[in-house]
Structure 1
Amino acid sequence: MSSLLPPPLPNARPPVDPLAPPKFLGPMTKSVLAVCVVSALCWVAAVLVAAPLSSAEWLRELTHDSDLSWLAPSLRWLGAHAVGFCVAMLLVCLLGVAACWGMLYRQRWALWLFIVLLVVTALFNFVCSWVLDDGFRHLLDYLASDAASSEMRQLRGEMLVQRMTFLVTTVTSSIAFAGAHGWLAVRLLRTDVQVWFQR
């Protein structure tokens, strides 16, 4: 009966090269590098726009004479430090470029910098969600002080719906990105990746 069994098929798998990098590492690093470069260029443009605006006399006079009590303190702070914020974000993008570039050349410091940036950007997404929600909350409190007219009550109701929509969207996105960043950080800490950067 054993002679009637078909012979085993040959193994079609190519031999695994022990010196080859993990398959996901190269494409992932190059794609993140492209995103960091594009983001850095965008923040350079933002700095070039924010720098002259921050020193423009007409803008200072406009904001000085305007009632900005409807604007949340966090957003007012961002407006007052727009150039510094843009420069800080540009530096983060440049660190991302350096990390990706170093990972392509198997630099161990670049791997750890990349993991740190994954954690930082995941936390930053939650901070952005809080700032946006704080802006809505402050504006709703401001509108509540003048809710005598039906138009103002209607506007406040619409703003409340928008606040909940943005809150659910941003928090859900932040959780999703945090999960993806966490998975990637854990994947980069696995033995095959660590061995590749130790060679």
Structure 2
Amino acid sequence: MSAPPHPAGIAHNLVRPLALAATLVGAALTLCSLAAALMAWGFQGGDRWQELVTLGQAGNWPGSAMWPLSHLFPLSLWTVLLCLLSTLSSWGMYRWRRWGLWSFVVLLVLGIVFNFAAAWWVDDLLARFGALLDDPRQAGQLQVQRVVAGLALYGGAVLMLLLQGWLAWRLLRPDVRRLFH
């Protein structure tokens, strides 16, 4: 019977593949976000975009829907920046840099907060859109969709809280932290 693996080996086997996968996914998401930002840049200010803004204004859409619509390109650039930061953080962790570890953990925690904020935003948006409907049948259908979306989004946020919280806790344990310089 072989001896159990050394704790540093377990930590190494956790961090290295995680950091590599996160770096590759982050790079892919950065490129996709950049493509989306370029599309948003071309879309914003165009005829279709103006039709959508006019429809929103005429339909008295809530501000929480109109603001992102009116700031489409800048929000897209923020997404590119966040994906790039995530990629750099993962790369730093892959290279065993202490700043990579800490920035990765900070991004995990921010991701947890964002998941709950996004769930609340979608729920609030659906509630506001429901209040705009005149047809009680449509309002009832939207309410059902709101409940289903809320269960999915809040359930996903709780699941990600557990997974990302565990990962942050595991990455900050002494056996993992000592691997970084």
Pick one of 141, 147, 166 that aligns with 1:158. 141
Distance 1:21 1:188, change over 3 A: closer
Q: Secondary structure at the match of 1:135?
A: helix
Distance 1:180 1:14, change over 3 A: closer
Q: Does 1:101 align with 2:85?
A: no
Going by fraction, where is helix more abundant, 1 or 2?
Answer: 2
2:58 aligns with one of 64, 67, 79: 67
1:113 partner SS: helix
Contact 1:188 1:194 (8 Å CA) reproduced: yes
Q: Which has the higher contact order (CA 8 A, sep 6+)?
A: 2
The partner residue of 2:114 within 124, 127, 132 is 124
Rg larger in 1 or in 2?
A: 1
TM-score, scaled to structure 1: 0.82
Distance 1:139 1:60 in 2: 20
Match of residue 168 from structure 1:
151
* Residue 5 of structure 1: aligned partner: none
Contact 1:129 1:167 in 2 (8 A): yes
Listed one character per residue, the Cα deviations across residues 136-191 of structure 1 (whole Å, up to 9, x for unaligned) are 10111111xx2xxxxx2211111110000000110000111011111111111101
Cα distance in 2, alignment partners of residues 181 and 15 from structure 1: 25
Shift of 1:20: 8.2
Residue number among 2, 11, 14 corresponding to 1:12 in the alignment: 2
Q: Which runs of 5+ in 2 are unaligned?
A: none
Count of aligned pairs: 180
CA distance in 2: counterparts of 1:62 and 1:125, whole angstroms = 27
In structure 2, the CA distance between the partners of 1:156 and 1:61, relative to structure 1 (3 Å rule), is: closer
* TM-score of the aligned structures, taking structure 2 as reference length: 0.90
Hey, what's the Cα distance between the residues in 1 that align with 2:92 and 2:45? 38
Aligned-pair RMSD on alpha carbons?
Answer: 2.1
Q: Is the 8 A contact 1:51 1:83 kept in 2?
A: yes
Aligned to 1:32: 22
Instruction: Report what 2:67 is aligned to.
Output: 77
